[in-house]
């Protein structure tokens, strides 16, 4: 049983610092690139846009959408991970480890195969349905009869379901000669984000985030134990169902935008809980900001390495962290 | 004593499986772009075929076939040993990340090393083994808990993490390659059997010839290791040393296999489990069957992949995963304790 624990730091201060860091990272990320751009040009491009100025074009059509895309994906994956960890009481859960990402990728592969000109809204929906399917299979098999959501079983089932769905996506990609290479399905990249995608994705991500924040009290109570939550008059099945579906929407959209990126949803909530404690009204907003920050930084590093897949870079940071968590026995918080 | 009935059952099963392997080979040989009839295939096999048939069979199809058979056998054997030694029914070189480790070191080698094309084939299994052994070491040292030893649960958890880190690493390295090389790594990771010359057979065969019989001889020790630790110790098995040697051999075997056949998972799971369901858990009985089943499955999967999509084919690793992953889930569902 998890007790509500106070964090090491003051929430307001931490949250403000995280936001400031995010803005600084955003500036650096927009500045960095092959085309050298001056800081003042950024503000000009935003507030006094001149379509004939090539630098303005680079900023507003390539770099800003890409960076905002990275932030949104980080927000979505981090929040999704925090919710799943809370609801399944599994400290090792992550959208990719429980089959959401590979499920979304599979449905996207099918969409590319049968409806190649699909608008982004359809792709987001396909991602969500896929995440739903993947997550449902994993949670059903991973849920052993005796002790609820056993972390070990969920990870195992997740690994097998991911292997299956990834193989199916690759099969579909080969059969229908999709021009996305095999790697698209296993390593993410945010380089191709467009304003059009952001217009569709941003509202869904932000609304899901707001709903989850508004349910954070229920999540905190649920985290204290199912019996206690029921005793306090909470509709446990409802809370679980809604928050899980929202986390699947978030993961599905993230995959539709950038492909599969693992470990963001694993690492960020752990770091955040360490900083500010286990109250979800604090954990969720801070997770969103730190998730965005992490992905933005990783994407900037990926660009410095000459367009390495950002998912691979995050795996490289994430796995040592994962091993550390396993070493501690996968305990929650 | 082994029940003579079981012994007979094992023989029957072995004969039937050998026939299955041959039939699968025949199907594989006779399908493909150049059509060859079954009759012509068997005729060519005993040296009575026409010139073109002989050329195509001997130079192009047979080496690849031999690689596929050997790789399937090696992977099944390796899975069986790892399962017995760690007493974890769900362990397998693919799920544990050992294949991914081989892949990572191979990609590293391609990036860093100045590869000499002539020697590359012979060096490849060794490079792959280095990767496999290092990964196994990391997995075992991380999943070792004071007091409990290596628990199956933490071993698989660490393995799953390692697998995703190392394939991530390979993909990162890949992005620095030119197109050909990155294409190669991608299809290697998908489990595309790419060794198709006799040179690959020569590079791979010695490992199989030495290591598989060694493991078959060790069947009795394996039986004991699979019982409780104290029983094994009581009858005089040096547990620590035997375990390490057997695991090392299993890892070498699977690394050698994936170096020529690509990262193929789940064969090490399907082979041993199917074999055990036929003749039970005694290693003398089920290991030979597991080897045959592994070979059959990989040949079959490879052929299915080739037939579905011509001419490039769907990598055998993908076909195996589509069959193997549901089986894994079924096994998980059955074993409540894990």
Q: How far apart are CA B308 and CA B310, in angstroms?
A: 7
Q: What is the mean pLDDT of chain A?
A: 82
On whether residue A332 sits in a domain, the answer given is no
- Measured in degrees and rounded to the nearest 5, phi and psi for residue B148 equal -90, -15
On whether residue A28 sits in a domain, the answer given is no
**Chain B hits for A323, Cβ within 8 Å:** 142, 158, 161-162
CB A72 within 8 A of CB A257: yes
Contact B338 A153 (CB under 8 A): yes
Q: Which of B156, B162, B329 sits opposite A161 (nearest CB)?
A: B329
Q: How far apart are CA A4 and CA A277, in angstroms?
A: 7
Contact A159 B322 (CB under 8 A): no
Domain ranges of chain B: 36-333
On whether residue A260 sits in a domain, the answer given is yes
What's the mean pLDDT in A89-107? Answer: 85
Here the CATH number for the domain that contains residue A198 is: 1.10.3470.10
Structure tokens at A232: 């306090």
Residue B313 confidence (pLDDT): 77
Give the closest residue to B60 by CA, choosing from B306, B234, B334, B241.
B306
> For tokens 């799971």, what's the residue?
B269
Chain mean position to CA B295 = 9
Structure tokens at B92: 């397998």
Strand-pairing partners, residue A143, are A149
> For tokens 């630098």, what's the residue?
A55
Structural domain total, chain A: 1
Strand-pairing partners, residue A148, are A144
Residue A9 confidence (pLDDT): 74
Spell out the alpha helix ranges (H) of chain B.
4-30, 38-45, 51-55, 62-86, 98-112, 117-142, 152-174, 179-189, 198-217, 219-226, 229-234, 239-261, 267-279, 283-308, 316-334
Q: Which of A174, A315, A316 sits opposite B314 (nearest CB)?
A: A174
Cα–Cα distance list, A277 to A10, A82, A91, A332 (Å): 10, 13, 14, 12
Residue B311 preceded by cis peptide, ω within 30:
yes
Q: Is B10 on the interface with A (CB under 8 A)?
A: no
CA-nearest residue of chain B to A318? B165
Contact A309 B172 (CB under 8 A): yes
Contact A186 B167 (CB under 8 A): yes
Task: Read off the pLDDT band of A333 (50, 70, 90).
Answer: very low
**Chain B hits for A158, Cβ within 8 Å:** 160
- Measured in degrees and rounded to the nearest 5, phi and psi for residue A144 equal -75, 160
Residue B226 confidence (pLDDT): 75
Contact A164 B309 (CB under 8 A): no
Q: How far apart are CA B219 and CA A135, in angstroms?
A: 41
**Chain B hits for A187, Cβ within 8 Å:** 168, 171
pLDDT tens for residues A123-157? Answer: 889 999 999 999 998 888 877 655 566 777 788 88
Q: Which of B104, B157, B262, B324 to mutate to test the interface with A (most CBs of A within 10 A)?
A: B157
Residue B115 confidence (pLDDT): 62
CB A81 within 8 A of CB A269: yes
CB A58 within 8 A of CB A37: yes
Contact A326 B161 (CB under 8 A): yes
Full-model pTM: 0.82
Q: Rounded to a whole number, what is the distance in Å from the CA of A247 to chain B's nearest CA?
A: 22
Structure tokens at B298: 């990989």
CA angle A242, A243, A246 (to 5 degrees): 85
pLDDT tens for residues A279-330? Answer: 888 899 999 999 999 999 998 888 887 777 787 788 778 878 877 877 775 5
- Measured in degrees and rounded to the nearest 5, phi and psi for residue A6 equal -75, 145
Q: How far apart are CA A50 and CA A127, in angstroms?
A: 36
Residue A231 has pLDDT above 90, yes or no: no
CB crowding B48-85: b at 16 or more within 10 Å, else e: ebeeebbebbeeebbbbbbbbbbbbbbbbbbbbbbbbb
B2: left (phi over 0), alpha (psi -120 to 50) or beta: beta
CB B197 within 8 A of CB B203: no
**Chain B hits for A266, Cβ within 8 Å:** none
Q: How far apart are CA B306 and CA B319, in angstroms?
A: 10
Give the closest residue to B251 by CA, choosing from B109, B106, B132.
B132
CA-nearest residue of chain A to B175? A308
Give the closest residue to B86 by CA, choosing from B139, B130, B134.
B139
On whether residue A5 sits in a domain, the answer given is no
Q: How far apart are CA A273 and CA A269, in angstroms?
A: 6
Residue A35 confidence (pLDDT): 66
> Helix count (H) and strand count (E) of chain A?
14, 2
Expressed as residue numbers, the domain containing A320 is: 66-327
Q: Which residues contact A277 (CB under 8 A, 6 or more apart)?
A: A4, A5, A6, A7, A283
Residue B337 confidence (pLDDT): 53
- Measured in degrees and rounded to the nearest 5, phi and psi for residue A143 equal -80, 100
CATH, range B36-333:
1.10.3470.10
Strand-pairing partners, residue B145, are B149
Give the closest residue to A65 by CA, choosing from A200, A230, A266, A220.
A200
On whether residue A49 sits in a domain, the answer given is no
Residue A77 has pLDDT above 90, yes or no: yes
Q: Rounded to a whole number, what is the distance in Å from the CA of B43 to chain A's nearest CA?
A: 34
Q: What is the pLDDT along chain B (338 residues), one digit of tens a residue?
A: 567 888 888 888 888 888 888 888 888 877 766 667 777 777 777 777 777 777 777 777 788 888 899 999 999 999 999 888 888 888 888 888 898 898 888 888 877 766 655 667 778 888 889 999 999 998 888 877 666 666 777 777 788 888 877 877 777 677 666 666 667 777 777 777 777 778 888 888 888 888 888 888 888 888 887 777 677 777 767 777 888 888 899 999 999 888 888 888 889 989 998 888 888 888 888 888 899 999 999 999 988 888 887 767 788 888 998 888 888 888 887 776 54
Residue A2 confidence (pLDDT): 44
User: Is the confidence metric ipTM above 0.85 for this complex?
Assistant: no
Give the closest residue to A283 by CA, choosing from A99, A131, A87.
A87
Give the closest residue to A95 by CA, choosing from A303, A247, A284, A234.
A247
Residue A332 has pLDDT above 50, yes or no: no
**Chain B hits for A153, Cβ within 8 Å:** 332, 338
DSSP structure class, residue A182: G
pLDDT tens for residues A258-270? Answer: 888 888 888 899 8
Q: Which of B164, B165, B329 sits opposite A157 (nearest CB)?
A: B329
Q: Is B315 on the interface with A (CB under 8 A)?
A: yes
Q: Rounded to a whole number, what is the distance in Å from the CA of A261 to chain B's nearest CA?
A: 10
Q: Pairing between strand A143-144 and A148-149?
A: antiparallel
Q: Which of A109, A147, A159 to mutate to test the interface with B (most CBs of B within 10 A)?
A: A159
CB B25 within 8 A of CB B12: no
């Amino acid at each position: 049983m998890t007790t509500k624990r106070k964090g090491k730091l003051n929430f307001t201060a931490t949250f403000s610092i995280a936001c400031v860091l995010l803005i600084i990272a955003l500036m650096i990320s927009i500045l960095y690139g092959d085309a050298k751009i001056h800081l003042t040009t950024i503000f000009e491009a935003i507030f006094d846009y001149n379509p004939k100025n090539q630098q303005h074009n680079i900023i507003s059509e390539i770099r800003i959408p890409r960076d905002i895309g990275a932030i949104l994906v980080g927000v979505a994956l981090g929040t999704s991970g925090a919710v799943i960890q809370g609801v399944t009481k599994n400290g090792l859960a992550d959208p990719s480890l429980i089959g959401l990402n590979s499920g979304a990728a599979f449905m996207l592969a099918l969409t590319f195969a049968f409806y190649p000109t699909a608008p982004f809204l359809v792709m987001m929906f396909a991602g969500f349905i896929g995440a739903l399917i993947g997550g449902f299979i994993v949670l059903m098999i991973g849920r052993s009869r005796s002790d609820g959501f056993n972390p070990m079983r969920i990870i195992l089932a997740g690994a097998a379901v991911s292997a299956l769905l990834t193989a199916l996506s690759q099969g579909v990609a080969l059969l229908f000669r999709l021009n996305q290479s095999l790697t698209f399905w296993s390593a993410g990249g945010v380089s191709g984000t467009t304003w059009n995608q952001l217009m569709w994705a941003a509202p869904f991500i932000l609304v899901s985030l707001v709903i989850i924040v508004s349910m954070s009290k229920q999540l905190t109570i649920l985290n204290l134990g199912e019996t206690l939550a029921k005793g306090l008059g909470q509709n446990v099945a409802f809370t679980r169902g809604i928050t899980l579906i929202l986390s699947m929407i978030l993961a599905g959209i993230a995959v539709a935008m950038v492909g599969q990126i693992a470990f963001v949803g694993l690492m960020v909530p752990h770091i955040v809980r360490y900083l500010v404690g286990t109250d979800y009204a604090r954990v969720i907003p801070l997770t969103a900001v730190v998730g965005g920050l992490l992905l933005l930084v990783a994407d900037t590093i990926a660009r410095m390495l000459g367009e390495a897949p950002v998912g691979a870079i995050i795996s490289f940071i994430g796995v040592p962290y994962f091993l550390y968590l396993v070493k501690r026995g996968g305990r929650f918080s | 004593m082994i029940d003579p009935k079981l012994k007979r059952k094992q023989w029957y099963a072995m004969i039937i499986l050998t026939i299955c392997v041959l039939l699968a080979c025949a199907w594989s040989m006779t399908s493909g772009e150049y059509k060859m009839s079954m009759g012509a295939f068997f005729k060519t096999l005993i040296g009575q075929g026409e010139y073109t048939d002989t050329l195509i069979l001997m130079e192009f199809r047979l080496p690849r076939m031999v690689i596929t058979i050997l790789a399937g056998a090696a992977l099944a054997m390796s899975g069986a040993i790892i399962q017995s030694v760690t007493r974890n029914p769900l362990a397998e070189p693919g799920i544990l990340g050992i294949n991914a480790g081989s892949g990572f070191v191979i990609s590293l080698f391609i990036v860093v090393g100045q590869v000499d094309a002539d020697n590359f084939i012979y060096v490849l299994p060794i490079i792959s083994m280095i990767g496999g052994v290092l990964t196994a070491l990391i997995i075992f040292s991380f999943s070792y808990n004071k007091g409990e030893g290596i628990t199956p649960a933490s071993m698989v958890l660490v393995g799953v993490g390692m697998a995703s880190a190392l394939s991530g690493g390979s993909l990162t390295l890949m992005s620095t390659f030119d197109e050909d090389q990155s294409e190669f790594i991608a299809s290697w990771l998908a489990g595309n059997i790419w060794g198709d010359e006799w040179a690959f057979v020569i590079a791979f065969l010695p490992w199989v010839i030495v290591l598989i019989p060694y493991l078959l001889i060790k069947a009795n020790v394996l039986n004991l290791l699979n019982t409780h630790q104290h029983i094994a110790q009581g009858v005089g098995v040096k547990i620590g040393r035997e375990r390490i040697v057997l695991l090392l051999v299993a890892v070498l075997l699977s690394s050698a296999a994936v170096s020529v056949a690509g990262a193929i998972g789940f064969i090490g799971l399907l082979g041993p489990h199917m074999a055990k369901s036929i003749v039970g858990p005694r290693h003398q009985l089920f290991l030979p069957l597991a080897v045959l089943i592994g070979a059959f499955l990989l040949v079959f999967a490879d052929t299915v992949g080739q037939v579905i999509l011509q001419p490039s084919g769907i990598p055998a690793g993908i076909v195996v995963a589509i069959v193997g992953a549901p089986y894994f889930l079924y096994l998980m569902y059955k074993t409540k304790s894990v």
